[in-house]
């Protein structure tokens, strides 16, 4: 029997805040250029979507013997990015409690706790640009 992994409430709250911020930001502000690793706030949201989608897939395919073929999430319009973050947040948070102790990432297998730390770090980085 697999142990149930707790979903850090702070991570769930931070993800909800980022999704809400993206959903309520005007289009012009979403597409406005940024200095730093993201071209715009919408691109920051898209980067978070990729992180969450890969994390969820790595958890879901954690028991597979070989690294999964990573699915690339679709690139949606700027005004849809907040909704997309909310959907992949749900996928990630739903998969996490049943995660194996070791999960897949594009760099190979890592402990579940490391994946959660990496996701939390990505959330904090994106939140800093919103």
Question: Where residue 28 sits, what CATH number does that domain have?
Answer: 1.20.120.450
Distance CA 30, CA 22 (A): 8
74 within 8 A of 46, measured Cβ to Cβ = no
Instruction: With respect to residue 121, please indicate whether it lies within any of the assigned structural domains.
Output: yes
For the chain, the average pLDDT equals 93
Instruction: Give the SS3 label for residue 25.
Output: coil
Instruction: With respect to residue 17, please indicate whether it lies within any of the assigned structural domains.
Output: yes
> Average pLDDT of 32-44?
95
The residues, any chain, with a CB within 8 Å of residue 120's CB and separated by 6 or more, are 8, 10, 11, 14
Instruction: With respect to residue 1, please indicate whether it lies within any of the assigned structural domains.
Output: no
- Number of domains composing the chain: 1
Predicted pLDDT at 94: 94
> Average pLDDT of 111-120?
95
Q: Determine the structural domain holding residue 76 and report its residue range.
A: 9-127
Instruction: With respect to residue 107, please indicate whether it lies within any of the assigned structural domains.
Output: yes
Categorize the per-residue pLDDT at 3 as very low, low, confident or very high, splitting at 50, 70 and 90.
low
Instruction: With respect to residue 108, please indicate whether it lies within any of the assigned structural domains.
Output: yes
Kindly report, residue by residue over 81-98, the tens digit of the pLDDT: 999 999 999 999 999 998
Instruction: With respect to residue 3, please indicate whether it lies within any of the assigned structural domains.
Output: no
């Amino acid at each position: 029997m697999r142990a149930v992994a707790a979903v850090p409430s702070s991570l769930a709250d931070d993800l909800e805040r980022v999704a809400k911020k993206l959903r309520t930001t005007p289009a012009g502000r979403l597409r406005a250029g940024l200095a730093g690793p993201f071209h715009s706030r919408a691109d920051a949201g898209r980067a978070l979507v990729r992180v969450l989608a890969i994390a969820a897939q790595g958890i879901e395919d954690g028991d597979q013997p070989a690294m999964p073929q990573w699915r690339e999430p679709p690139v949606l319009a700027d005004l849809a990015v907040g909704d997309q973050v909310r959907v992949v947040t749900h996928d990630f948070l739903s998969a996490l409690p049943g995660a194996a102790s070791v999960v897949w990432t594009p760099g190979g297998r890592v402990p579940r706790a490391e994946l959660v730390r990496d996701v939390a770090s990505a959330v904090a980085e994106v939140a800093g640009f919103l």
